[in-house]
Structure formats: structure tokens, C-alpha cells
A and B are shown apart, each in its own frame.
Chain A
Amino acid sequence: EVQLVESGGGLVKPGGSLRLSCAASGFTFSNYGMNWVRQAPGKGLEWVSFITTSSGYIHYADSVKGRFTMSRDNAKNSLYLQMDNLRAEDTAVYYCARHLKLDVWGQGTTVTVSS
């Protein structure tokens, strides 16, 4: 069964940092580009970033560029999102999603930025 499991969310103060992880199973992780998508409380979906299979290209939304860093470890079947200089508006559920066409999603991990 194809599965994506996010972890690492939590409560952090403005200006703080957090690292999210996404563990993949049930498919050949190294063959797929991956995405992060977020959803603020009561709001719609916002694409955050995409990474190619070999990490050769990484794209970011303007809202996180310069603050968030996406990476992957194909040997560990894992995807990461390093979030620095966090703001209140980064509060959201963060999902990882497979493929440039976002065919499979994880269940999400919640990030709350508050003092």
C-alpha cells in the first residue's frame, strides 16, 4: 500500500524553527518528485514546494522562499521541510504529496506558530 506519513509538527514561537518529515512506503520513492502543501485553519489549500527525484530542482512558493528549505533522502525514503523564521501566518496543516501531479497525500502534521 502506498503510504505517506508526516511528522514533526508542533507549537513554535514566531521566529523559531521546525523540521517536518515525510516517510514514504509502498512505492519506489526515488522515482517520484514530491511536494509540500499546507492548509491554514478554515482556509483553502496552498502549494508550498516541490523537489525533483534527485534534488536537482526545487521550487518554492513566494510566501516561503528564503525561509523554508525542502530536501530528501532517497536512501531513507524520506522527505523534509526545514522551516526557519516562522511567522503566525505559517500556522497550518502541512501535507506531503507524491508526484508532480500530487496523486497521493499523507494525513498531515499540524504546525502552530504562536507566542
Chain B
Amino acid sequence: DIQMTQSPSSLSASVGDRVTITCRASQGITNDLGWYQQKPGKAPQRLIYAASSLQSGVPSRFSGSRSGTEFTLTISSLQPEDFATYYCLQHNSYPYTFGQGTKLEIK
């Protein structure tokens, strides 16, 4: 199985900050990675697909990148509505696997 190691597990930041969340795959997954945002009591929503493509309707302050087996989600300027939990997901091979999640909290 492919392991997705996500870091950090939690992060405190302020409105306007730039934040970065990382997922490292245990083996190559090409660009078969998505990033999801989940708010309490709600279903996850996809932000990024194919490692770096922005989902329609998602603000441009969200971006994704890839370097080998390391994937990064960047929020360029945090807004109040961005405080949530973020997950990466690899869909390159079964079983699909999620990162452990990053809880983004207000400082």
C-alpha cells in the first residue's frame, strides 16, 4: 500500500498568512493526488486535482505543486473561512490512501 505522510498535523496561523501543507508519498504516484478541505460536520470538498489543477470555483489563493513524491498545498493569504482540516488523497493505486490531515487553526 502507498503511505501518504502529511505534515504538519496541526498549524496555527493568522488571517493574511501564507501557509504550506505537505504530503509525501511512499512511492511514485505521478500526479494522481488531490487536496481536500473539510469543515466540522461537513463533507470534504476538493480544492486541487492532478496535484496542481485548481478545482472550479475554488479561490486562486489555493495552489498545489509537486516535486517528485512530495506534494504541497499552499494558501497564499489566509482568509477566515480557510480555517478547517485539509487532507491529501492519492488515487494512483488501490487501496487509495489519505494523509492524516492538517488542522488549520486561528492564532
A50 at the interface (CB under 8 A from B): yes
Are A59 and B95 interface neighbours, CB within 8 A? yes
CB distance from A80 to the nearest CB of B (A): 19
Are A44 and B100 interface neighbours, CB within 8 A? yes
Interface SS of A by simple majority: loop
Given contacts A44-B100, A45-B44, contact A102 B91 (CB under 8 A): yes
B residues less than 8 Å from A101 (CB atoms): 32, 34, 49-50, 91
Q: Give the complex CA separation of A95 and B49 in angstroms.
A: 19
B73 at the interface (CB under 8 A from A): no
Nearest to B94 among chain A residues (CB) is A59
Given contacts A101-B34, A101-B49, contact A50 B98 (CB under 8 A): no
A68-102 residues with Cβ-Cβ distance < 8 A to B are: 95, 100-102
Chain B residues with a Cβ closer than 8 Å to the other chain, count: 23
CB distance from A49 to the nearest CB of B (A): 9
Q: Find the residue from B36, B49, B87, B94 having the highest chain A CB count within 10 A.
A: B94
Are B98 and A46 interface neighbours, CB within 8 A? yes
B residues less than 8 Å from A100 (CB atoms): 91
Are B43 and A102 interface neighbours, CB within 8 A? no
A residues less than 8 Å from B45 (CB atoms): 105
Q: Give the complex CA separation of A81 and B42 in angstroms.
A: 21
A62 at the interface (CB under 8 A from B): yes
B residues less than 8 Å from A1 (CB atoms): none
Nearest to A61 among chain B residues (CB) is B95
